[in-house]
Structures are given as structure tokens and as C-alpha cells.
């Protein structure tokens, strides 16, 4: 019965009046234009520095290396190691922008203009699929699909050089193309499934998370409407580009050099074995779910309890909806479930990862809930729509508050947790501006530095860098587990001239000391004279190599 309440456009499309068909095409375009305009008007990317979130800096450095012919290497790191972790799709896009703009500021500006368009097209495609093709209730599409896209966090993350907008666009294109292919001639169907295969491959090459599309496409093509030729074409075009990249990348990784930094290693190295692995992963997943509910709750309401309940309902609806539509819409169900699962099992929680999956889980939720709304009385339906409209208005007002808090520089606290991405990005951007000015005036271009936001510092100063505190997997032992080892090994391996640790100038008895601060204190005690303060700034340490002492610390 529920299935019959979803519009079957294969039987109705031919009988629809021309004006109705035109409106159904115009409506998604209008939605896309509105979302793109919101991104352009609300983005603060012009105030950001590339490297404020690190990944954006690494992507941009890779694009620069490709554009200038250096290869697939990390120019910002000592010895210019091969990049093992990030796939090539987004760096190639950035390489084109480097060719056009010629500077990091120019690339940043182009990204700030292009990404709103990418998100706008994604929004239009999702609206077209959900509302026009599959008949989902309009208000549900706005709440579950479009609302997460206009969170302040989404706007600020996806207008800087990050790969999620392109993953989302590729994902939406695959959904739209395969949905259309079920209602066309056999000749056109082959072309459409071929486009879906190539686009799914592009999604994986843009972001590894896109791998969820591969099993989803295979499951979707298992239907009787698709021939063996259709399936073979799609699967072949999915696999060939990935295999070509795999063999090429494996060859350059084998030649090296490779970085020893934990956040530069391939994703495969993050896995752990042993009898405790499953227990640890499940505990990490439970922690991630709790973190994501609190994070999204913070974006939904200033009242913590209200936000957490709303976030649990929103995310829970997406997960349940993905299960509910598996049979009717396997492509949507499998891909959204896979996307949610990867985000939950990821070694550490990042809200931008969940935000990129939510519109697709929201599409599943909208399709799941539409039959229930269709069966309700007109009065109940009207009340529900008005209630959701009020809820959307309150959430949009909350986004304005979050943005204002970030601009005002309000830090996270026990009463305002977690933090606004706007706050974090602006704080890191201010650090990059201040530190880059100091680095350019006080160091030589050949000097090598250990510093926070290291990829951004390289882009604005040209100095080779090493991170003060590398991003680490929660399921692996920390590089700071053995005090002094990380800093001593980096001084020796990277031939560092300066160590710049902002945390040294902000001691607090109430906050545990970062691992790098303990490393600095230990080296000062065990290897006197290795780290000295050349001026009045206690955060800037000059390195005087004592290889025998440092080597003993590394070996201990």
C-alpha cells in the first residue's frame, strides 16, 4: 500500500501537461539557485586563510605540486614525500585553478565562487529526484534534504578548499542518472549507466568515502530492467579508472620517499588487529554517535536538551528511512546507509563528514515518511507542514546566532559545547596570518619549521613545515605516548631549525599539557641547549642539533 503512494513517473510523465512538466523542471532549478545564493551571501571564506582546517591546505599544496609539474607530492613537508592518503580528484581540480589563478589567494577566491554553484546543482538534483521524480512530500524534502545544507557549518566548510562538495555532486549525479535510466529506451539506458559508472568512479577519486556508491550501483543494476550489458558497462567504467590510479599510485609510493607522520599515512594503516580491535572499534563508534548527536544538536538549538532530542530524531529518521527504502529504492538506501556507517566507524568524529551524508540520508527519510503523510487527514497534514515550517525558521535563526558567535570570537565552554566551525576557522586563520608574518620576517626561506596549521604556513611563506600536533587515529597509539620521542625524531629526520609552539605561551593548571609541550620540557631537561629562545617570544624555539642526545631519546 505504501509503495502505491509514491508517484510512478514512468506511467504519469507522458500524460502530464506541458506546463506541469515545465514547472517540475523549473522548481528544482529555483531551489538550486536559492541554495547557491545562500552560500554566496553567508560564506566567510574571504576571511579565512587556506590551511585553517589543515586538509584544505594539504589539498591546495597537492594542487600546486600537480600544476607546477612536481608530481603527486607534499611540497610542504621535508623531503617532499609522496602523498599516500588523499585521492587525486580534488587536487586535480585545484591544479586547474592554480593554472588559472597562479596564487593561493586566487585559488581560494575561485573555490569560494565555484563551490556554491556545485552545492546549488547538488541541491537541485536532490530536489528533482525526491520531489519531482519520486513524489516525496515537499516539506519533508526541505527539512531532511535541504536544511542540513544551509547549516552555518556546511556553508563555512564547503566554501573553502575541501572535497565534500564534489563528492556530494557526484553522488547526486549518480542517483539522478540511474533514476532516469530506468525510464528510457535501451540505447539511452546504456549511455546513462555508463555515465553513472564513470561518475561513481569520480566520486571515489574525489574522496575515499565515495566507495559506498560502488556496491549501491551494483545493487541498483540488479533489477530486471537492466541487461547484462548495462551492468557490465557500469561496473567496468567504475573499476577501470580506479585500477589505473591504484597501479600508478602504488608505483610512485614504492619509489617514495614516504612521510613518517601519522596523518600522512594511507587510510589502510589506521586499522588495528588483535582480539581487542572489534571491541575498540565498537566503543569508538558509540562515542562517535554521541559526539555527532551533540554536534548536530548544537546546530539545531541553543537549548542543549532540545537540540539533542531534535538531532537524535533527525539522524535516527535518516538511518531508519535508509533501511525502509532499501527494497523500493536500493540505490538511495544502500548508498546512504553505507555513508552513515563509514562516518560512524571513522577513527575520529568530524562534523563535516556527517554533514556531507545527511542530505542523502534525508532523501531516504523523506521517501519513507511521505506515505504516512499522504494517508493523514488534510488538517493533520496542514498542521504538520506548519509545524515543520516553524521548526525550519527556528533552525535558520539558530544558524545566524552561530555565525555571530563565531564572528564575535566566542570560544567553546562547558556551557556552550561543542564549538562553532566559524569560530575555529577564524581563530586558525588569524593564527596563520600572525605566524606567517613572523615567519617571513624572522626566518630564512631555507629554514624548516615545526608549527601549527603547517600546510597553511607553507602556502603563505614557502617554508618547509612539520605539524606540532599531527592528526591521529583514535584507534592507534599516539605519537606522544613515549614522551620526547616525537619531537626528537622530527628534529633529526626533518632537520628542523625552529619549533613554534603557541601552547607554550598559554600555560593553564586546569588543562592537561599537550603532548608537544611535554616533549619540549623533556628535551630541555635531558638535552640542554637544543631548544633555546632567540627573542622575547617564548613560543619560538631555535634548534641547535645535538644528534647524540636526541638519538638516545629516540632509541629509549
Question: Would you write out the chain's pLDDT as a tens digit for each of its 556 residues?
Answer: 333 334 444 444 444 565 566 666 889 999 999 999 999 999 999 999 999 999 999 999 999 999 999 999 999 999 999 999 999 999 999 999 999 999 999 999 999 999 999 999 999 999 999 998 899 999 999 999 999 999 999 999 999 999 999 999 999 999 999 988 877 777 788 899 999 999 999 999 999 999 999 999 999 988 767 888 888 999 999 999 999 999 999 999 999 899 888 888 776 665 555 555 566 677 778 888 988 999 999 999 989 899 999 999 999 999 999 999 999 999 999 999 999 999 998 877 889 999 999 999 999 999 999 999 988 888 988 898 899 999 999 999 999 999 988 888 766 654 445 678 888 899 999 999 999 999 999 999 999 999 999 999 999 999 999 999 887 766 677 888 888 899 999 999 999 999 999 877 765 544 456 889 999 999 999 999 999 998 888 889 999 988 899 988 888 7
Residue from 90, 147, 164 nearest 365 by CA: 147
Query: Do residues 344 and 351 lie in contact, with contact meaning Cβ atoms separated by under 8 Å?
Result: no
446 HSE (CA, 13 A, CB side) = 0
What are the φ and ψ backbone dihedral angles of 480, each rounded to 5 degrees? -100, 10
* Alpha carbon distance 480, 460 (integer Å): 28
H or E element: which one contains 541? Answer: strand 540-543
pLDDT at 81: 95
Residues paired with residue 465 on neighbouring β-strands, in sequence order: 77, 449
153 HSE (CA, 13 A, CB side) = 24
pLDDT at 21: 62
- In Å, how far are 251, 387, 388, 389 from 392, measured between CA atoms? 51, 9, 6, 5
What order of strands is seen across the sheet that includes strand 464-467?
464-467, 448-451, 498-500, 540-543, 531-532
- In Å, how far are 130, 226, 493 from 182, measured between CA atoms? 15, 8, 57
Residue from 80, 78, 56, 54 nearest 69 by CA: 80
Query: Do residues 57 and 91 lie in contact, with contact meaning Cβ atoms separated by under 8 Å?
Result: no
Query: Do residues 107 and 60 lie in contact, with contact meaning Cβ atoms separated by under 8 Å?
Result: yes
State how beta strands 540-543 and 464-467 pair.
unpaired
State how beta strands 498-500 and 540-543 pair.
antiparallel
pLDDT at 11: 42
Going by the DSSP 8-state scheme, the letter that residue 73 receives in this structure is B
Amino acid at each position: 500500500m505504501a509503495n502505491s503512494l509514491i508517484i510512478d513517473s514512468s506511467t504519469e510523465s507522458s500524460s502530464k501537461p506541458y506546463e506541469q512538466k515545465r514547472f517540475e523542471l523549473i522548481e528544482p532549478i529555483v531551489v538550486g539557485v536559492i541554495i547557491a545564493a545562500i552560500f554566496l551571501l553567508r560564506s566567510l571564506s574571504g576571511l579565512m586563510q587556506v590551511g585553517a582546517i589543515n586538509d584544505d591546505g594539504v589539498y591546495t599544496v597537492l594542487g600546486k605540486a600537480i600544476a607546477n609539474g612536481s608530481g603527486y607530492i607534499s611540497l610542504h613537508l621535508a623531503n617532499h614525500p609522496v602523498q599516500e592518503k588523499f585521492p587525486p580528484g580534488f587536487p586535480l581540480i585545484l591544479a586547474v585553478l592554480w593554472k588559472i589563478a597562479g596564487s593561493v589567494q586566487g585559488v581560494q577566491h575561485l573555490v569560494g565562487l565555484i563551490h556554491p554553484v556545485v552545492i546549488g546543482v547538488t541541491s537541485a538534483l536532490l530536489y528533482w529526484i525526491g520531489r519531482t521524480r519520486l513524489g516525496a512530500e515537499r516539506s519533508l524534502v526541505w527539512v531532511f534534504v535541504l536544511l542540513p545544507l544551509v547549516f552555518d557549518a556546511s556553508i563555512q566548510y564547503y566554501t573553502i578548499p575541501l572535497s565534500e562538495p564534489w563528492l556530494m555532486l557526484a553522488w547526486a549525479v549518480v542517483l539522478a542518472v540511474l533514476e532516469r535510466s530506468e525510464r528510457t529506451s535501451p540505447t539511452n539506458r546504456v549511455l546513462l549507466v555508463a555515465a553513472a559508472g564513470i561518475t561513481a568512479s569520480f566520486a571515489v577519486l574525489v574522496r575515499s568515502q565515495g566507495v559506498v556508491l560502488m556496491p549501491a550501483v551494483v545493487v541498483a543494476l540488479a533489477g530486471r530492467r537492466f541487461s547484462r550489458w548495462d551492468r557490465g558497462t557500469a561496473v567496468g567504467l567504475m573499476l577501470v579508472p580506479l585500477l589505473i590510479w591504484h597501479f600508478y599510485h602504488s608505483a610512485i609510493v614504492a619509489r617514495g620517499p614516504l612521510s613518517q607522520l601519522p596523518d600522512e599515512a594511507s587510510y589502510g594503516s589506521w586499522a588495528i588487529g588483535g582480539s581487542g580491535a572489534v571491541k575498540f572499534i565498537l566503543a569508538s563508534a558509540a562515542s562517535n554517535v554521541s559526539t555527532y548527536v551533540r554536534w548536530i544538536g548544537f546546530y539545531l538549538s541553543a537549548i542543549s536538551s532540545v537540540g539533542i532530542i531534535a538531532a537524535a530524531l533527525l539522524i535516527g529518521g535518516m538511518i531508519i528511512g535508509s533501511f525502509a527504502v532499501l527494497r523500493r529504492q536500493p540505490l538511495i538506501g544502500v548508498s546512504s546507509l553505507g555513508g552513515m556507517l563509514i562516518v560512524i566507524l571513522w577513527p575520529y568524529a568530524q562534523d563535516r563528514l556527517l554533514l556531507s551524508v545527511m542530505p542523502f540520508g534525508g532523501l531516504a527519510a523523506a521517501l519513507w515518511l511521505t506515505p504516512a503523510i499522504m494517508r493523514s487527514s488534510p488538517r493533520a497534514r496542514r498542521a504538520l507542514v506548519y509545524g515543520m515550517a516553524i521548526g525550519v525558521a527556528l533552525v535558520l535563526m539558530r544558524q545566524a546566532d552561530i555565525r555571530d558567535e563565531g564572528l564575535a570570537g566566542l570560544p567553546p565552554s562547558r556551557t556552550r559545547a561543542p564549538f562553532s566551525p566559524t569560530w575555529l576557522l577564524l581563530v586558525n586563520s588569524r593564527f596563520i596570518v600572525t605566524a606567517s608574518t613572523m615567519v617571513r620576517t624572522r626566518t630564512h626561506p631555507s629554514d624548516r619549521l615545526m608549527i601549527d596549521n603547517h600546510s597553511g604556513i607553507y602556502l603563505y611563506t614557502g617554508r618547509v613545515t612539520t605539524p606540532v600536533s599531527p592528526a591521529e587515529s583514535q584507534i592507534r597509539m599516539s605519537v606522544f605516548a613515549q614522551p620526547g620521542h616525537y619531537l626528537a625524531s622530527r628534529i633529526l629526520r626533518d632537520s628542523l631549525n625552529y619549533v613554534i609552539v603557541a601552547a607554550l605561551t598559554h600555560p593553564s593548571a586546569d588543562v592537561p599539557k599537550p603532548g608537544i609541550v611535554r616533549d619540549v620540557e623533556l628535551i630541555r631537561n635531558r638535552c640542554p641547549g637544543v631548544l633555546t629562545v632567540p627573542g622575547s617570544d617564548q613560543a619560538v624555539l631555535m634548534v641547535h642539533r645535538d644528534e647524540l642526545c636526541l638519538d638516545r631519546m629516540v632509541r629509549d
